[in-house]
Structure 1
Amino acid sequence: MSSNSSITKADPAILLQQLRAVVDSPEEFAADRQEIVRLARKATVMLEDPFEMFQRLAYSALPLVTVRVAQDHKIFQTLVENKDGPTSAAVLAEKTGINPTVLDSLLEYMTTQHMIEESSPQNYVPTKLSNILLAPLFVDGVVHFHDNCLPAFNALNYSLSNPTDPRTAFEVGQNSPTDFYTWLETHPVQGAAFHRFMEAQFASLPTWLDVVPFGTEYAQLTDPETPVFVDVGGGNGQQCVALQKKYPTLIGKVILQDRPAVLEKAITGQEVERMSYDYLTPQPIKGARAYYFRQIFHNNNDAVCLQILQAHIPSLSPSSVILIDDKVLPDEKPEGGAVEYTAGLSLAMLVMFKALERRESQWRKLLGDAGLEIKAIRRFTDFGDSIIVAGLK
């Protein structure tokens, strides 16, 4: 009998034994983690009966909602800080101020999501997930997705059903007369959480500076008056600081451009020139070696992106490049967790900005339509984060 024919029928007992082993010792399965997760999720869908499947969809917002409640009312914090053992529901009710009857339903649901564990009736202990959700990165992330994005996701169907409504789904869901970034200026809690989350999630990842030898490619034969690096819509100037840290002897002007209210919060020193600028208007800095855009284009649809590019093309010299720091998704769609993440992110761009994460072919068409040539695409993470190097044809 061949090895293939010896495993023609699955053995539920062996499968259950293996699944228990995964639960007890997940670290032993790290090498195959992504494939196991993918198959386990698919197996869940295949095994669910129709009502179970519908329930999962119907209550799909509750994990995010209950995590927001648990963080804000210090359920996780109370459990983690109790080093003496389980925490009773009565103590949690006292610490959180939540009505005990309501709290009982919350805790019961949270146990089904493995956020907490009921060690004995009405006594609870934290889980691995409880601790993870107390990390500042994830506290800020939950605030952002719950407070900022969830109303926008809820308005997606309205937005798609009313294509002539110029508002984004975010503006509809939040009943906001302004765009997301303007809205954040009057919502300091949500704004601070968003900016911290965006900064922290990329802090441990590679960056464009890991794949672009900027000093040798763009900073040769410069003098103090040469505009070397223009960070267009650069926010607080984090990338200017990173560039100067990596190339401390860089000669030439480093310029940060953004709205005045944003520039006031910049972290750059005196060596970085700050310039108020709207990137839809003609670029005033002529002949810079590099015009850098970080996560600008994925916030805008193709028509606006063409406006941005056309506002800059007249300022390009033959030695100038446009550096676009954004995701470049593959045209082929491989299976795995990265696809779920980037697909979800693309929908987030849709509801927040009526934009999208672009595939390589879409980038090539967009830049080609603008009259530019892609000279290189350099990827630096497994999630499609890339630097696109573009210049005049």
Structure 2
Amino acid sequence: MVSNVSKDEALKSASSIVALLSQGSDPFISEEVRVEALQAANLVIRALEKPEDGLIKFAFSPATWMAVRVCAQLNVFDIIARNETISATEIAKNGNADETLIRRLLRVLTAAGFVAERGDGLYGPTHWTVHINSRLAQGMIKFMYDASMLPISHGPNWLKETGYQNPIDPQHGMFQAANHTDLPTFQWLAVPKNKDIWDNANTFFEGDRGSRPSWLTWFPAKDKLFPQGHDQDTPLLVDVAGGRGHDLMDFLAKYPDEPGPFVLQDQEPVLESATSLSPKIKKQVFDLFTDSPVKGARIYFMKFILHDYMNEQCIQILANVKASMVKGYSYLVINDFVLPDTGCGLLQSQWDLMMMVLLSSMERTETQWKTLLESAGLSIEGIYSPPGDGQGIIVATL
């Protein structure tokens, strides 16, 4: 990131935005152009915003996050999304809340563009309102706020007390200190009293790619991984710890004529909540650390799994996958961030810190991925970059 942006640099960036957005006749710009234009727009903003003002705005931003969470709790976004114009009085009555409180919360959200202001105490939807009201966005808001805010607030003191060491112990991290537990985060989430947070987490996992394109839209999966089909006595693809099967369903949508079989593996409560799967998909209860996936599959797919763990745990997980792979036939496909050594984007670097806060884990650079997979006895066929700033693909074999 550039700390100081001159007037000339800002003008150059503004000109590049116009040029980028003028490319072609298609109203939908490509992911690469979108990300490049956003980066240029951020340079313009930094040129116009004085550091004093920018830092104050940043310091007060948690208040916006709190307002979003409370309004989600009161179903305010749903109410507004269903009405062209609605009053604070009606919103407050619906949520059994104080009208003055509703006005104060929505004052922030209208300023942020999340809700439209139609007049004094009158509100309507924007495209942000509609998105925030979606099931996946609601899961993200509730899980990320409820699971992360307390550990984040503990972060500075926890790091000071531990001598500013990089967190590596999944049983003794910021999350455990904040929640007074020595359970690893996923075990804590599985405790019955935390069911709502765990449900919201699994909903968020369905949409954690955001608007970024699926790997299946830019990576030639069939050409590289199963150009001549596969042995139909064994699975074409096993989605290892695949949640509710959203990525596996994307695969089936891309390749509807592939006969499978396909296997979705995860913990039993997660699989029970996966209710909209293709009949081609077999559910299989699975534990990353104790079980090997079904043997002999063509593809073992792991999206956002290994970033949840440090190397020691990852090597144990990979050993279980290796035990099921067939040399010369099976592929391990990892869909995860591959951080650049320099010039890392804001989203990826924030995601890395969130892994640190919640799981005492990390996102990895290309060098770190190579070191991990080689340590696990795997050979890297290739590391492939996505368009824009999404998750990459790492293909490994025995």
Measured against the shorter chain, the TM-score band is 0.7 to 0.9
Matched, 1:133 2:137: no
Counterparts of 1:1-393 in structure 2 under 5 Å? Answer: 33-35=37-39, 37-43=41-47, 47-49=50-52, 52=53, 55-79=56-80, 81=82, 83=84, 87=87, 89-116=88-115, 122-126=120-124, 128=126, 129-163=128-162, 166-176=171-181, 178-185=183-190, 186=192, 187-202=194-209, 205-210=212-217, 211-214=219-222, 217-218=225-226, 220=228, 222-250=230-258, 253-267=261-275, 268=277, 271-281=280-290, 283=292, 285-319=294-328, 320-333=330-343, 339-392=345-398
Cα distance in 2, alignment partners of residues 97 and 40 from structure 1: 43
- Partner letter of residue 372 of structure 1? L
Q: CA deviation digits over 1:196-220, x for unaligned, max 9?
A: 3332354864323331433773363
- Partner letter of residue 208 of structure 1? W
CA drift of 1:304 comes to 0.9
Conservation of the 8 A alpha-carbon contact between 1:115 and 1:126: no
Conservation of the 8 A alpha-carbon contact between 1:156 and 1:351: yes
Cα distance in 1, alignment partners of residues 138 and 64 from structure 2: 14
CA drift of 1:123 comes to 3.1
CA drift of 1:344 comes to 1.1
Cα distance in 1, alignment partners of residues 389 and 8 from structure 2: 36
Conservation of the 8 A alpha-carbon contact between 1:222 and 1:251: no
Conservation of the 8 A alpha-carbon contact between 2:238 and 2:301: yes
- Partner letter of residue 71 of structure 2? A
Cα distance in 1, alignment partners of residues 270 and 288 from structure 2: 14
Ranges in structure 1 where 5+ consecutive residues have no aligned partner: 1-6, 16-26
Cα distance in 1, alignment partners of residues 77 and 274 from structure 2: 34
The CA RMSD over aligned residues, in Å, is: 3.8
Conservation of the 8 A alpha-carbon contact between 2:300 and 2:331: yes
Cα distance in 2, alignment partners of residues 316 and 242 from structure 1: 23
- Partner letter of residue 161 of structure 1? K
Aligned-residue identity in percent: 26
Q: CA deviation digits over 1:89-142, x for unaligned, max 9?
A: 55554444333454454344445444456666x434346344543344433322
- Partner letter of residue 39 of structure 1? L
Cα distance in 1, alignment partners of residues 9 and 283 from structure 2: 68
Conservation of the 8 A alpha-carbon contact between 2:103 and 2:121: no
- Partner letter of residue 362 of structure 1? Q
The 3-state SS of whatever aligns with 1:155 is: helix
Q: Based on CA coordinates, which of the two structures has the bigger radius of gyration? A: 1
If asked which structure has higher relative contact order (CA below 8 Å, sep 6+), I would say: 2
Cα distance in 2, alignment partners of residues 182 and 347 from structure 1: 20
